[in-house]
């Protein structure tokens, strides 16, 4: 399944969960605080802006935000909240699409770089971020740490969530670094749905090399948006890459 097929009208309609999940204040607040602090009033570009979960509140904090988004249904949902003149969005691939203007901050949240399913595309995404940044600008990536330690020998799948009405299961191809996330949702009686999303997982060290190839230096890595320390037990990270001022 191609990424533009994964993020169709159904996915776009289910994405927004106001006040809950990824939209909960305790999740969204630290994310916006972190990015607003780094932007320091300079324009920001969000790659894969989706329905504006982060971009809209960041703009409300006084940061001029522009977006790139592959899924037209996701952009349509964003347009229900804010107009093009307030938050412009270019429809296209985050690895290759260009927009006008220079930016002090480019960012990718919630594992989105893993939606690019080849190493070449992920490397090109870093290069595209660098092309949009002014010297000294920063590229921020939020990404999960592959949980391969959960896989017993010979077992290609692991449960990552089991809640009332929902089970999440990842199937792994460890040779190709491919993951397919399966989302099972259950309603009343026999009511159930199954959704999938494909990813290429990236180790932190590989991500850093992608950054170096694009001319970035790793400035900081945290376990979360609250700037907590990244350790061997961290399940995700927020990594800040910076272009040298002389770039």
Chain segment 59-70, per-residue pLDDT in tens: 999 999 999 999
Q: Decide: helix, strand or coil at residue 223.
A: coil
Mean residue pLDDT across the chain = 91
Q: Give the pLDDT of residue 1.
A: 47
Q: Could you give phi then psi for residue 244, rounded to 5 degrees?
A: -60, 145
Cα 142 to Cα 127: distance, rounded to the nearest angstrom: 17
Residue 8 has pLDDT above 70, yes or no: no
Residue 4 has pLDDT above 60, yes or no: no
* pTM of the entire predicted model: 0.89
Cα 95 to Cα 106: distance, rounded to the nearest angstrom: 12
Residue 149 vs residue 143, higher pLDDT: 143
Q: Give the pLDDT of residue 151.
A: 84
Cα 141 to Cα 109: distance, rounded to the nearest angstrom: 6
Q: Mean of the pLDDT values across residues 164-190?
A: 91
Between vectors from CA 103 to CA 136 and to CA 32, what angle results, nearest 5°? Answer: 95
Counted residue by residue, the chain has a size of 247
Between vectors from CA 209 to CA 205 and to CA 210, what angle results, nearest 5°? Answer: 115
Where residue 190 falls among pLDDT bands split at 50, 70, 90? confident
Q: Give the pLDDT of residue 7.
A: 64
Where residue 56 falls among pLDDT bands split at 50, 70, 90? very high
Residue 9 has pLDDT above 90, yes or no: no
Q: Give the pLDDT of residue 50.
A: 94
Tokens 């203007």 belong to: 101
Q: Mean of the pLDDT values across residues 78-95?
A: 96
Where residue 22 falls among pLDDT bands split at 50, 70, 90? confident
Where residue 107 falls among pLDDT bands split at 50, 70, 90? very high
Residue 129 has pLDDT above 50, yes or no: yes
Q: Give the pLDDT of residue 92.
A: 96
Compute the radius of gyration of the chain from its Cα atoms.
Answer: 18
Cα 200 to Cα 180: distance, rounded to the nearest angstrom: 9
Cα 140 to Cα 242: distance, rounded to the nearest angstrom: 9
CB 195 within 8 A of CB 129: no
Beta strands 44-47 and 103-108 are parallel
């Amino acid at each position: 399944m191609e990424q533009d097929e994964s993020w169709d009208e159904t996915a776009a309609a289910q994405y927004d969960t106001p006040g809950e999940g990824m939209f909960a204040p305790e999740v969204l607040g630290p994310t916006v605080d972190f990015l607003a602090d780094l932007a320091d009033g300079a324009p920001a570009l969000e790659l894969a802006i989706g329905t504006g979960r982060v971009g809209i509140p960041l703009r409300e904090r006084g940061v001029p935000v522009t977006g790139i988004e592959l899924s037209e249904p996701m952009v349509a949902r964003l347009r229900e909240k804010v107009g093009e003149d307030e938050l412009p969005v270019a429809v296209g691939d985050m690895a290759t699409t260009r927009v006008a203007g220079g930016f002090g901050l480019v960012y990718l949240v919630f594992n989105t770089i893993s939606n690019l399913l080849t190493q070449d595309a992920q490397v090109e995404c870093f290069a595209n971020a660098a092309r949009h940044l002014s010297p000294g600008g920063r590229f921020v990536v939020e990404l999960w740490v592959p949980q391969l330690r959960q896989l017993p020998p010979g077992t290609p799948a692991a449960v990552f969530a089991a809640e009332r009405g929902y089970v999440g299961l990842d199937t792994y191809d460890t040779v190709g670094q491919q993951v397919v996330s399966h989302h099972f949702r259950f309603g009343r009686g026999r009511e159930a749905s199954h959704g999938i999303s494909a990813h290429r997982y990236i180790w932190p060290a590989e991500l850093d090399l992608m950054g170096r190839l694009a001319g970035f230096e790793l400035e900081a890595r945290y376990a979360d948006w609250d700037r907590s320390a990244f350790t061997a037990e961290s399940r995700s990270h927020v990594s800040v890459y910076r272009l040298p001022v002389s770039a």
